[in-house]
């Protein structure tokens, strides 16, 4: 694999800076904390880190509301700290990707402060402004993902502005060429600084329907989606017009042309649309994004059939595009709890990590997945997420997956000399890094073992994939390329399973660190509870 193609099949470790390591005692993680633990990350065997936003922000949405795209927020450190991070990561062989939130800014951004003053200033059309209906109501029926209408009244202009998320996150008007040019210049700033890639937040939200047409209603039985509270009106409509517009494709091509001037950089798009798999295929075609990921494996759906159907559907439409898969991130409940329940076993966490890293595509691993952390139960009085506060108790928000990473079993988890910004549950301290380092059977040890083993089988990094029809609870597929074929089978349940697959002449592969299946004659397989089988065909 050439260095410019490092992203193909890469395992990317997501760092949520607020919750990684605090070095100044304010209870919030920072860039120096990441620098201090880069050796730990490199030792996992991952290829890259993705750092969630650390830019200047009022933190209404914890950094996804940016007030200055080129400045590090003092909460996290300085630009010099970031340069140190970049230098050390590269010395350790790690690539560095950073979040870029292009579709909207903070209402504290200088662009918006100017735009909201009048209808005739130089930035007047840089955001999405619209007149009220004659009765004073908003210009259309679009809803905010965080609840309520997606329009807020600005008396200085006598108009509404659009926000697909919080009212303090106004949407930029990407129909304006100056907005696109300024956005690309902000991206260029970080490419010039030496970053290796961009994770593009909500990238399909850049453009809106210029005619501001109403979204059509969605039937009750179809009102489901990533992280929606049952009573969130965002789920009540098809989002055909407030995102995923055809004009966005040309912008992606502009962005790709810029990145191509910096060989070895890669763009990963976060995509959430009415048909995210189809949009991912469209957005990763030649000349657009290098790879894309959606939320299909970040839902509550968990079965071999669902996994097989999801991967197959994306592969069928992907063509030359490249997928990226994730089971957890900073926006959804942690996967051991989401798919295994409150009492999920470490064995399930080990299996899911291995399964994820065996799929065709790149992989995003969220900090704590290597420890098998369950979702934290954060009490209402400790909540910080505005989404969870608004929809409590039907939906508890995103704080449960954002609690600080436990480094030790001490009360503060070895995270901070001060009071952590979110409480660290006792269950997490029992799974701390220091604790798992001493346990040869830990999820952490298994994660490292599997990634080392995977590195010796390039077909698992870049080979083609063919899903096999298997009964529940077994997921099985072949990976193939360069004359090699490998069978991978995973028992998603806590009980042993026997089955027969149409394989012949297979040779069992060992050393992956999971409870290993047995391979008999004529394709007979036995998989132990939460066990896996890898065989060369």
The CA distance from 432 to 404, in Å, is: 11
**Distances in whole angstroms, Cα of residue 370 to Cα of each of 89, 146, 252, 307:** 19, 30, 33, 21
Please tell me the number of Cα atoms within 13 Å of 185 on its side-chain side: 7
Edge-first strand order for the sheet with 151-154 is 129-130, 159-162, 151-154
Extract the tokens encoding 356. 């994820």
Look at residue 320 and give its three-state secondary structure: coil
* DSSP-assigned states of every residue in 373-400: PPPP---GGG---HHHHHHTTT---SGG
Write down the residue that tokens 């807020």 correspond to.
Answer: 152
Look at residue 304 and give its three-state secondary structure: helix
Question: Residue 84, exposed/middle/buried by CB under 10 A (0-12, 13-18, 19+)?
Answer: middle
Q: Which of 47, 154, 270, 478 is catalytic?
A: 270
Is residue 161 within 8 Å of 109, Cβ to Cβ? Answer: no
Look at residue 310 and give its three-state secondary structure: helix
Q: Per this entry, what is the length of the chain?
A: 537
Q: Shortest CA distance to 475 belongs to which of 320, 359, 363?
A: 359
* DSSP-assigned states of every residue in 196-225: -EEEEETGGGS---TT-PPPPB--GGG---
Look at residue 239 and give its three-state secondary structure: coil
270 is catalytic: yes
Extract the tokens encoding 306. 């669902």
Please tell me the number of Cα atoms within 13 Å of 401 on its side-chain side: 24
Extract the tokens encoding 310. 């999801």
Q: Which of 22, 201, 315, 370 is catalytic?
A: 201
Ramachandran area for residue 164 (φ above 0: left; ψ -120 to 50: alpha; else beta): alpha
Active site residues: 201, 270
């Amino acid at each position: 694999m050439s260095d410019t193609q490092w992203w193909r099949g890469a395992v990317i470790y997501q760092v949520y800076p607020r919750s990684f390591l605090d070095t100044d005692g304010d209870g919030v993680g920072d860039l120096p904390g990441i620098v201090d633990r880069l050796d730990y990350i490199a030792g996992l065997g991952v290829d890259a880190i993705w750092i969630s936003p650390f830019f200047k922000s009022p933190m209404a949405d914890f950094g996804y509301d940016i007030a200055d795209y080129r400045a590090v927020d003092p909460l996290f450190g300085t630009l010099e700290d970031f340069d140190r991070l970049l230098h050390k990561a590269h010395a350790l062989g790690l690539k560095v990707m950073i979040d870029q939130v292009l579709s909207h800014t903070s209402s504290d951004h200088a662009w918006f402060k100017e735009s909201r003053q009048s209808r005739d200033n130089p930035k007047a059309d840089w955001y999405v402004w619209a007149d009220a209906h004659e009765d004073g109501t908003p210009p259309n029926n679009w809803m905010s993902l965080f609840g309520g209408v997606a329009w807020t009244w600005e008396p200085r202009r006598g108009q509404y502005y659009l926000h697909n998320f919080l009212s303090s996150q106004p949407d930029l008007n990407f129909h304006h060429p100056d907005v696109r040019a300024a956005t690309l210049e902000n991206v260029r700033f970080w490419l010039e600084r030496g970053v290796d890639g961009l994770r593009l937040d909500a990238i399909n939200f850049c453009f809106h329907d210029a005619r501001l047409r109403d979204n059509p209603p969605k039937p009750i039985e179809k009102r489901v989606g990533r992280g929606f509270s049952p009573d969130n009106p965002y789920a009540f409509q098809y989002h055909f017009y407030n995102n995923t517009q055809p004009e966005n494709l040309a912008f992606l091509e502009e962005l790709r042309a810029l990145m191509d001037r910096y060989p070895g950089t890669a763009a990963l798009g976060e995509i959430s649309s009415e048909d995210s798999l189809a949009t991912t295929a469209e957005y990763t075609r030649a000349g657009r994004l290098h790879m894309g990921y959606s939320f299909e494996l970040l839902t509550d759906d968990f079965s071999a059939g669902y996994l097989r159907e999801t991967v197959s559907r994306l592969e069928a439409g992907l063509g030359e595009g490249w997928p990226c898969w994730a089971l957890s991130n900073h926006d959804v409940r942690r996967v051991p709890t989401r798919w295994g329940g409150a009492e999920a076993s470490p064995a399930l966490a080990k299996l899911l990590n291995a399964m994820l890293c065996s799929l065709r595509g790149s992989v995003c691993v969220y900090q704590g997945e290597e420890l098998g952390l369950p979702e934290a139960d954060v009490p209402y009085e400790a909540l910080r997420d505005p989404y969870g506060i608004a929809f409590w108790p039907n939906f508890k928000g995103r704080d449960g997956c954002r609690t600080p990473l436990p480094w030790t079993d001490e009360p503060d988890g070895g995270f901070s000399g001060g009071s952590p910004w979110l409480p660290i549950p006792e269950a997490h301290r029992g799974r701390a890094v220091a604790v798992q380092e001493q346990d040869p059977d830990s999820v952490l040890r298994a994660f490292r073992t599997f990634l080392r083993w995977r590195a010796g089988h390039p077909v698992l990094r870049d080979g083609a994939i063919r899903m096999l029809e298997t009964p529940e609870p077994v997921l099985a597929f072949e990976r193939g390329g360069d004359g090699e074929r490998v069978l991978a089978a995973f028992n998603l349940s806590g009980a042993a399973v026997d089955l027969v697959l149409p394989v012949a002449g297979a040779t069992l592969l060992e050393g992956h660190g999971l409870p290993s299946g047995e391979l008999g004659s004529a394709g007979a397989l036995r998989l132990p509870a939460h066990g896996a089988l890898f065989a060369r065909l």
